[in-house]
Amino acid sequence: MITYGEKLTAESAAGMTLNERLWFSNLMHRYDDAIARNDTKDLSQTLTEVYLDQASIDSIIEHESQSE
């Protein structure tokens, strides 16, 4: 089990929701800011850092761009 502040690994991220991954990695604010700025490059980088696969990243970016 991973605890807050530990480095997230692909293994520890398995089975976690996106929010859990962002919270444990202390990246929630960066994720929210990237969405607010519509910065798809930063959003993609943030999602990559929490071990999301490319298909999931693309889906989130597409969903967020439609939410404007």
* Domain regions of the chain by residue span: 10-66
Asked if the model's pLDDT at residue 6 lies above 90, the reply is no
Predicted pLDDT at 65? 84
Q: pTM for this structure?
A: 0.88
Predicted pLDDT at 66? 86
Q: Classify burial at 50, counting beta carbons within 10 Å of its beta carbon; exposed 0-12, middle 13-18, buried 19 or more.
A: buried
Asked if the model's pLDDT at residue 5 lies above 70, the reply is no
Asked if the model's pLDDT at residue 57 lies above 70, the reply is yes
- As a whole number of angstroms, the distance between CA 34 and CA 30 comes to 6
- How many distinct helices (H) and strands (E) make up the chain? 5, 0
Q: Is 4 left (phi over 0), alpha (psi -120 to 50) or beta?
A: beta
CA neighbor of 10 nearest in space, from 49, 58, 61 = 49
Predicted pLDDT at 67? 78
